[in-house]
Chain A
Amino acid sequence: EAQVTQNPRYLITVTGKKLTVTCSQNMNHEYMSWYRQDPGLGLRQIYYSMNVEVTDKGDVPEGYKVSRKEKRNFPLILESPSPNQTSLYFCASSLSNMNTEAFFGQGTRLTVV
């Protein structure tokens, strides 16, 4: 089954404690991205990757890092989480960046206290 898998689904952590949210896709997609969803703001792109070893900032990259060492995986790293990063996070993948359907993971609800 074609899917994007994120882990964990729920996470509560404390300010400053480094964490990683994993994302894996099994569709051999080149393009992957991370979004955060906040009430009243919709979804905003954090980082994206056109292919292995190619990553770039999206619209709200501050406080986040990513890596793309393999085509299937695209982890999101919060080196020093802060309460304003409390949000619902989605990983997505698509064949390319051009006009193609994006497939989303089920989301990770992060709370930073």
Chain B
Amino acid sequence: GDSVTQMEGPVTLSEEAFLTINCTYTATGYPSLFWYVQYPGEGLQLLLKATKADDKGSNKGFEATYRKETTSFHLEKGSVQVSDSAVYFCAQNYGGSQGNLIFGKGTKLSVKP
């Protein structure tokens, strides 16, 4: 069935380091892809999204490109900050009768000063 696989955490980086969190998906259709972020004690917030192949989503210095050929949607940021410490979830949604978001298991990022 449809699924999302993202790299296991936790990931610990120093401030200003480069971040990559890998995400791949399997889907029978052509889903939209999302990255959500969960800060401690809060619900999930949409970070960025892409709805078709080759689209690039970007927000707050984060970017991800929808790669249909490699079924990937890797999250990147050139210079992380302590305030980026959170859990990041990759997700897909193709709509369909159920229309639910299918999430990866989440990657916890800790950024040290």
Interface residues of A (CB under 8 A from B): 4, 31, 33, 40-45, 48, 50, 56, 58-59, 90, 92, 96-99, 101-107
Q: Which residues of A contact B51 (CB under 8 A)?
A: 99
Distance A99 CA – B93 CA, assembled complex (angstroms): 6
Interface presence of B62 (CB below 8 A):
no
Cβ 8 A contact of A99, one of B36, B44, B95: B95
Given A4-B43, A42-B106: A97 and B95 within 8 A (CB)?
A: yes
Q: Which residues of B contact A44 (CB under 8 A)?
A: 103
B43 to A107, Cβ gap below 8 A? yes
A104 to B44, Cβ gap below 8 A? yes
Q: Give B31-71 as 1s and 0s: 1 = Cβ < 8 Å from A's Cβ atoms.
A: 11010100001111110010100000000000000000000
Give the size range of B's interface with the partner: 20 to 34
Given A42-B103, A44-B103, A98-B95, 8 additional A-B pairs, CB 8 A: A42-B89, A56-B98, A59-B100, A90-B43, A99-B94, A104-B43, A106-B42, A107-B43
Name 25 interchain pairs, CB-CB below 8 A, sorted by A.
A31-B99, A33-B100, A41-B105, A42-B89, A42-B104, A42-B106, A43-B44, A43-B101, A43-B103, A45-B100, A48-B99, A50-B99, A56-B98, A58-B98, A96-B99, A97-B95, A97-B99, A99-B31, A99-B32, A99-B94, A104-B36, A104-B43, A104-B44, A106-B43, A107-B43
Q: Which residues of B contact A97 (CB under 8 A)?
A: 93, 95-96, 98-100
